[in-house]
Amino acid sequence: EIAHRQQFGFTQPEQQIVIDSVSVEAIGNETIGHQIHTQQAGAEKSAAGHAAQAGGSHAARPETLRQTCFFSAGTWHEAPVARRESFTPGAALQGPAIIVEAHGTIVLEPGWTAQCDQEGTLILHRHAALPARQAIGTAADPVMLEIFNNLFMSIAEQMGFTLENTAHSVNIKERLDFSCALFDADGNLTANAPHMPVHLGSMSESVRAVIAQHGATMTPGDVFALNAPYAGGTHLPDVTV
Protein backbone atom coordinates (compact mmCIF):
# COMPACT_ATOMS: atom_id res chain seq x y z
CA GLU A 1 0.00 0.00 0.00
CA ILE A 2 2.85 2.39 0.84
CA ALA A 3 4.66 1.58 -2.42
CA HIS A 4 1.41 2.06 -4.39
CA ARG A 5 0.85 5.50 -2.84
CA GLN A 6 4.44 6.52 -3.59
CA GLN A 7 4.14 5.56 -7.26
CA PHE A 8 0.52 6.43 -8.08
CA GLY A 9 -0.36 9.07 -5.45
CA PHE A 10 -3.50 7.35 -4.12
CA THR A 11 -4.80 4.16 -2.50
CA GLN A 12 -8.18 2.44 -2.65
CA PRO A 13 -8.51 0.40 0.56
CA GLU A 14 -12.19 -0.26 -0.16
CA GLN A 15 -11.34 -2.05 -3.42
CA GLN A 16 -10.46 -5.74 -3.59
CA ILE A 17 -7.04 -6.63 -4.98
CA VAL A 18 -7.24 -8.33 -8.39
CA ILE A 19 -4.31 -10.54 -9.38
CA ASP A 20 -4.20 -10.17 -13.16
CA SER A 21 -1.17 -12.34 -13.88
CA VAL A 22 1.55 -14.23 -12.04
CA SER A 23 5.07 -14.81 -13.36
CA VAL A 24 7.45 -17.33 -11.79
CA GLU A 25 11.15 -17.67 -12.59
CA ALA A 26 13.23 -20.66 -11.48
CA ILE A 27 17.02 -20.82 -11.67
CA GLY A 28 18.88 -24.11 -11.29
CA ASN A 29 22.45 -24.51 -10.08
CA GLU A 30 24.80 -26.79 -12.00
CA THR A 31 27.01 -27.78 -9.08
CA ILE A 32 26.59 -28.24 -5.36
CA GLY A 33 29.56 -25.98 -4.73
CA HIS A 34 27.94 -23.14 -6.64
CA GLN A 35 24.72 -23.70 -4.70
CA ILE A 36 26.57 -23.51 -1.39
CA HIS A 37 28.34 -20.35 -2.54
CA THR A 38 25.01 -18.80 -3.55
CA GLN A 39 23.45 -19.67 -0.21
CA GLN A 40 26.43 -18.21 1.64
CA ALA A 41 26.27 -15.04 -0.42
CA GLY A 42 22.56 -14.73 0.30
CA ALA A 43 23.16 -15.25 4.01
CA GLU A 44 25.93 -12.63 4.02
CA LYS A 45 23.70 -10.14 2.19
CA SER A 46 20.86 -10.78 4.65
CA ALA A 47 23.22 -10.37 7.59
CA ALA A 48 24.56 -7.14 6.13
CA GLY A 49 21.01 -5.86 5.74
CA HIS A 50 20.14 -6.68 9.35
CA ALA A 51 23.40 -5.11 10.52
CA ALA A 52 22.64 -1.95 8.55
CA GLN A 53 19.18 -1.75 10.11
CA ALA A 54 20.56 -2.29 13.59
CA GLY A 55 23.66 -0.17 13.22
CA GLY A 56 22.15 2.83 11.39
CA SER A 57 25.03 5.22 10.86
CA HIS A 58 27.60 2.42 11.45
CA ALA A 59 26.85 0.82 8.07
CA ALA A 60 29.86 -0.28 6.04
CA ARG A 61 31.49 2.34 3.85
CA PRO A 62 31.95 1.22 0.23
CA GLU A 63 35.46 0.38 -0.92
CA THR A 64 37.47 3.30 -2.30
CA LEU A 65 39.54 2.62 -5.41
CA ARG A 66 41.50 5.86 -5.54
CA GLN A 67 41.31 9.62 -5.02
CA THR A 68 40.61 12.04 -7.86
CA CYS A 69 39.34 15.58 -8.46
CA PHE A 70 36.37 16.97 -10.35
CA PHE A 71 35.23 20.51 -11.14
CA SER A 72 31.82 21.63 -9.91
CA ALA A 73 30.14 24.91 -8.93
CA GLY A 74 33.20 26.93 -9.93
CA THR A 75 35.78 25.02 -7.90
CA TRP A 76 37.75 21.77 -7.74
CA HIS A 77 36.79 19.03 -5.29
CA GLU A 78 38.88 16.12 -4.06
CA ALA A 79 36.73 13.01 -4.29
CA PRO A 80 37.08 9.29 -3.62
CA VAL A 81 36.22 6.87 -6.42
CA ALA A 82 34.10 3.88 -5.30
CA ARG A 83 32.73 0.86 -7.14
CA ARG A 84 28.95 0.53 -7.36
CA GLU A 85 29.27 -3.19 -6.61
CA SER A 86 30.86 -2.47 -3.22
CA PHE A 87 27.65 -0.88 -1.86
CA THR A 88 26.01 -3.36 0.51
CA PRO A 89 22.53 -2.70 2.00
CA GLY A 90 22.83 0.25 4.34
CA ALA A 91 26.21 1.42 3.02
CA ALA A 92 26.45 5.16 2.44
CA LEU A 93 28.88 7.60 0.85
CA GLN A 94 28.83 11.38 1.15
CA GLY A 95 29.80 13.71 -1.65
CA PRO A 96 31.96 14.93 -3.18
CA ALA A 97 32.57 11.45 -4.57
CA ILE A 98 32.42 9.45 -7.79
CA ILE A 99 30.72 6.06 -8.10
CA VAL A 100 31.67 3.92 -11.10
CA GLU A 101 30.07 0.79 -12.54
CA ALA A 102 30.29 -1.21 -15.75
CA HIS A 103 28.00 1.01 -17.81
CA GLY A 104 27.76 4.31 -15.97
CA THR A 105 29.22 6.86 -13.59
CA ILE A 106 27.53 8.79 -10.78
CA VAL A 107 29.05 12.13 -9.79
CA LEU A 108 28.04 12.77 -6.20
CA GLU A 109 28.05 16.53 -5.66
CA PRO A 110 28.96 18.12 -2.30
CA GLY A 111 25.98 18.09 0.05
CA TRP A 112 24.59 14.82 -1.35
CA THR A 113 24.67 11.30 0.09
CA ALA A 114 24.31 8.00 -1.77
CA GLN A 115 22.90 5.13 0.29
CA CYS A 116 22.09 1.55 -0.71
CA ASP A 117 18.65 0.31 0.39
CA GLN A 118 17.68 -3.26 1.25
CA GLU A 119 16.88 -4.05 -2.40
CA GLY A 120 20.29 -2.91 -3.59
CA THR A 121 19.00 0.34 -5.12
CA LEU A 122 21.23 3.37 -4.72
CA ILE A 123 19.24 6.31 -3.30
CA LEU A 124 20.61 9.86 -3.52
CA HIS A 125 19.41 12.48 -1.05
CA ARG A 126 20.60 15.93 -0.05
CA HIS A 127 22.00 16.16 3.49
CA ALA A 128 23.16 19.80 3.36
CA ALA A 129 21.09 22.83 2.43
CA LEU A 130 21.92 24.75 -0.74
CA PRO A 131 23.92 27.93 -0.18
CA ALA A 132 22.28 31.28 -0.89
CA ARG A 133 22.40 32.20 -4.57
CA GLN A 134 22.44 35.50 -6.39
CA ALA A 135 20.12 36.39 -9.26
CA ILE A 136 21.65 35.70 -12.67
CA GLY A 137 20.27 38.94 -14.11
CA THR A 138 17.89 39.61 -16.99
CA ALA A 139 20.35 39.64 -19.91
CA ALA A 140 19.84 36.70 -22.29
CA ASP A 141 22.68 34.25 -21.79
CA PRO A 142 22.79 31.39 -24.33
CA VAL A 143 23.90 28.83 -21.74
CA MET A 144 21.31 29.79 -19.12
CA LEU A 145 18.66 30.05 -21.84
CA GLU A 146 19.31 26.44 -22.85
CA ILE A 147 19.38 25.31 -19.21
CA PHE A 148 16.00 26.86 -18.47
CA ASN A 149 14.60 25.62 -21.78
CA ASN A 150 15.40 22.05 -20.76
CA LEU A 151 14.22 22.71 -17.20
CA PHE A 152 10.78 23.88 -18.35
CA MET A 153 10.52 21.03 -20.85
CA SER A 154 11.36 18.55 -18.10
CA ILE A 155 8.67 20.04 -15.83
CA ALA A 156 6.04 19.62 -18.56
CA GLU A 157 7.14 16.03 -19.18
CA GLN A 158 7.08 15.22 -15.45
CA MET A 159 3.56 16.66 -15.28
CA GLY A 160 2.56 14.09 -17.89
CA PHE A 161 4.22 11.21 -16.04
CA THR A 162 2.46 12.20 -12.81
CA LEU A 163 -0.90 12.52 -14.57
CA GLU A 164 -0.45 9.10 -16.19
CA ASN A 165 0.46 7.44 -12.87
CA THR A 166 -2.29 9.02 -10.77
CA ALA A 167 -5.13 8.81 -13.30
CA HIS A 168 -8.11 6.46 -12.94
CA SER A 169 -9.35 6.98 -16.51
CA VAL A 170 -8.32 4.46 -19.16
CA ASN A 171 -8.19 7.32 -21.68
CA ILE A 172 -5.43 8.97 -19.67
CA LYS A 173 -3.60 6.02 -18.13
CA GLU A 174 -3.49 3.76 -21.20
CA ARG A 175 -4.47 5.80 -24.29
CA LEU A 176 -2.38 8.78 -23.09
CA ASP A 177 -5.05 11.20 -24.37
CA PHE A 178 -3.75 14.25 -22.51
CA SER A 179 -1.32 17.14 -22.86
CA CYS A 180 0.76 19.20 -20.43
CA ALA A 181 2.39 22.60 -20.89
CA LEU A 182 3.68 25.69 -19.05
CA PHE A 183 2.53 29.26 -19.74
CA ASP A 184 3.65 32.70 -18.61
CA ALA A 185 1.54 35.29 -16.81
CA ASP A 186 0.05 36.48 -20.11
CA GLY A 187 -0.98 33.00 -21.25
CA ASN A 188 1.83 32.58 -23.76
CA LEU A 189 3.23 29.09 -24.21
CA THR A 190 6.59 28.64 -22.47
CA ALA A 191 7.19 24.90 -22.86
CA ASN A 192 5.15 21.85 -23.74
CA ALA A 193 5.75 18.13 -23.56
CA PRO A 194 5.44 16.10 -26.80
CA HIS A 195 1.79 15.24 -26.22
CA MET A 196 -1.43 15.65 -28.28
CA PRO A 197 -1.12 18.48 -30.88
CA VAL A 198 -4.86 19.23 -30.85
CA HIS A 199 -4.64 20.13 -27.17
CA LEU A 200 -1.36 22.02 -27.35
CA GLY A 201 -2.51 24.16 -30.27
CA SER A 202 -5.53 25.53 -28.42
CA MET A 203 -4.38 25.46 -24.82
CA SER A 204 -3.00 29.02 -24.92
CA GLU A 205 -6.45 30.35 -25.82
CA SER A 206 -7.93 28.53 -22.84
CA VAL A 207 -5.33 29.97 -20.47
CA ARG A 208 -5.85 33.48 -21.85
CA ALA A 209 -9.61 33.11 -21.44
CA VAL A 210 -9.18 32.23 -17.77
CA ILE A 211 -6.79 35.15 -17.24
CA ALA A 212 -9.18 37.57 -18.95
CA GLN A 213 -12.13 36.49 -16.83
CA HIS A 214 -10.51 35.74 -13.47
CA GLY A 215 -7.09 37.41 -13.61
CA ALA A 216 -8.07 40.23 -11.23
CA THR A 217 -9.22 37.83 -8.50
CA MET A 218 -6.85 34.92 -9.10
CA THR A 219 -4.79 33.84 -6.08
CA PRO A 220 -2.10 31.16 -5.60
CA GLY A 221 -3.66 27.72 -5.32
CA ASP A 222 -6.75 28.50 -7.42
CA VAL A 223 -7.71 25.85 -9.97
CA PHE A 224 -9.81 26.52 -13.08
CA ALA A 225 -11.38 24.00 -15.45
CA LEU A 226 -13.05 24.80 -18.77
CA ASN A 227 -14.17 23.15 -21.99
CA ALA A 228 -15.84 26.10 -23.74
CA PRO A 229 -15.51 25.72 -27.55
CA TYR A 230 -15.17 29.51 -27.95
CA ALA A 231 -12.42 29.74 -25.32
CA GLY A 232 -9.89 27.29 -26.71
CA GLY A 233 -11.93 24.16 -26.04
CA THR A 234 -11.78 21.25 -28.46
CA HIS A 235 -14.08 18.27 -27.87
CA LEU A 236 -16.57 18.85 -25.08
CA PRO A 237 -15.22 15.88 -23.07
CA ASP A 238 -11.74 17.48 -23.23
CA VAL A 239 -11.28 19.60 -20.11
CA THR A 240 -8.45 22.10 -19.68
CA VAL A 241 -7.30 22.48 -16.06
pLDDT in tens, 181-236: 898 888 888 888 888 777 777 888 888 888 888 888 988 888 888 888 877 777 76
Under 8 Å between Cβ of 196 and 226: no
Q: Give how many domains the chain has, as a whole number.
A: 2
Q: Is residue 95 part of a domain?
A: yes
Is residue 126 exposed (0-12), middle (13-18) or buried (19+ Cβ within 10 Å)?
exposed
Tens digits of residue pLDDT in 114-150: 999 888 889 999 988 877 666 666 677 788 888 888 8
Residues 146 and 219 placed together within one structural domain of the fold: yes
Q: Based on the fold, state whether residues 151 and 218 are members of the same structural domain.
A: yes
| Mean pLDDT of all residues in 89-110 | 90
Give this prediction's pTM: 0.47
**Residue from 121, 115, 105, 112 nearest 60 by CA:** 115
146 and 122, same domain (yes or no): no
